[in-house]
Amino acid sequence: MPTILLVAGVALVAGVAHSAAPGQEPGPSGEAGALPRSAQFLFDLFLLFLCAKIAGEICLRFRQPAVVGEILVGMIIGPHLLHWVSSVQTPGGGRELTPFLESFAELCVVFLLFIVGMEVEPADLLRVGGLAAAVALAGMVLPFGFGAGLMHLLHRPLGECLFVGAALTATSVGITARVLQDMGQLGTRVARVILGAAVLDDIGGMLVLAVVSGAAVGAVSGSEILVLISTAVGALGIAFFLARSAVHRFRPRLYAVTRTSNERVLFSLAIAVCFGFAALAEVIQLAAIIGAFFAGIIFAELREAPELRRSMQPIYELLVPIFFVTMGAKVNLPLLLGWGVLKIGLIMTLLAIIGKVVGCGLAAYRMKLRDALAVGVGMAPRGEVGIVIALIGLNKHVIPDSVYAQVILMSVVTTFFAPSLLRVLLAAPAEKPPAPEPAEESPPGDHGEPTP
């Protein structure tokens, strides 16, 4: 703990020193009142990474997901509160992160969804059965209807309704899996249903995102959206199956002709496919993260997949915390704390929880009531997936800052809510001690040895 406080002190001093010129865009080298551009970029990354690690460690000590601390500290050090990170002024008079930080965050989220995709083994999806599929479907339809319906009642545009609905469909498989692992419950039927449904939710969420992204680029009628999405998803699907076949067929040949180790060859190949699919998704008017996600699935079923995941872990530890701090920094905290915005955010959060608990719980009706409720609660955390969907809506100027802040609030609260309640539901109920059996009386004249 003293080490954490020392590092926190360093970050605090650095941030205060930087805030002497708050909210300034990095200027050229030698410009008065500003650091050289390269130094400013490096300082921003230093501050984002350091604050992410400190906040994440603090949350872990309180048995909360690190992502919560990373988002919260981003809200504090961002351009809307302490102005510790570089920002530029928007035409409307507000402030937003610099283009460099925005681009870096996009790179981070591409790797995040690529690594998430590597956890999705197609063979496992075939084994989860109809129960997990029903849970996943109910956990998408009901929350989507709640989110889109709420925005419709508030007379918001169609694109805004669709993006909020899509954000509410998400499930963070990583957060729930961590709780189940900590409790030693990964082998239980409840855990298999939750994780199987969450993985299907991820795939369904990407498809929903593809639909709402199509609506955001101007296709507003049903036929236009259908044509756009069919073309885009068809192109991505063809590329997926071709790339999957090529990776399986030519991987041994790459191993044979290269002079480096097989692990390095596979790592390089995975990075190249990730970038290629992300770029392809953007070209066909889907989000880059959709391409990255399906690129990850290509490598998930290889026999070398565990080693590849381990080799990706350092990249994950570097980029993903910076991404979540950046997402927090984009939240206009003073705007969110206004009662009008906060009220809608709390209603959205309540609907998000009810949608998953009721929808997934009812779909798991064949299980015990306690287990069905645990399935619904386990599907409730939105975490990174809901945040990513909201980010795309914000970057496409489909949702305003206020709705983005509300979705972030929903994601953080559901991430807080689910792990604690899940631990209670999955804890083994205390068993009543058996009633003592009455001692048998010895028959008269029986003086044998007592039973041991």
Domain ranges within the chain, ordered by starting residue: 35-86+120-426
User: Which residue in 394, 401, 298, 354 sits closest to 79, CA to CA?
Assistant: 401
* 292 strand-pairing partners: none
Instruction: Name which of 7-21, 242-256, 296-310, 353-367 the model is least confident about.
Output: 7-21
According to the CATH classification, is domain 35-86+120-426 in 1.20.1530.20?
Answer: yes
Give me the mean pLDDT over the 82-103 stretch. Answer: 86
Is the pLDDT confidence value at 22 over 50? no
Residue 103's Cβ-count burial label (10 Å; 0-12, 13-18, 19+) is: exposed
Residue 171 has pLDDT above 70, yes or no: yes
- Is the pLDDT higher at 387 or at 34? 387
CA atoms within 13 A on the CB side of 186: 10
DSSP assignment letter at 431? P
What local confidence, expressed as pLDDT, does residue 30 receive? 39
43 pLDDT higher than 50: yes
**What local confidence, expressed as pLDDT, does residue 18 receive?**
52
> Percent of the chain, pLDDT > 90?
33
pTM metric for this prediction: 0.77
- Residue 32 confidence (pLDDT) above 60: no
Predicted pLDDT of residue 36: 85
184-235 pLDDT, tens digit per residue, is 777 788 888 888 888 788 777 777 877 777 666 555 556 666 776 677 778 8
What pLDDT shows up at residue 124? 65
Does position 175 have pLDDT exceeding 80, yes or no?
A: no
**Is pLDDT larger for residue 424 or for residue 356?**
356
| pLDDT at residue number 225 | 65
Residue 198: predicted pLDDT:
82
Higher confidence at residue 287 or residue 324? 324
| Average of per-residue pLDDT across 336-363 | 94
Per-residue model confidence (pLDDT) at position 25: 52
Mean pLDDT of the residues in the chain: 81
Strand partners of residue 95:
89
pLDDT tens digit string along 354-393?
A: 999 999 999 988 888 889 999 999 899 886 778 888 888 8
Q: Which two tokens stand for residue 225?
A: 């959206």
Distance, first Cα to last Cα, the chain: 53
Buried b (16+ CB within 10 A) or exposed e, 427-436: eeeeeeeeee
pLDDT at 366: 84
* pLDDT reading at 13 higher than 90: no
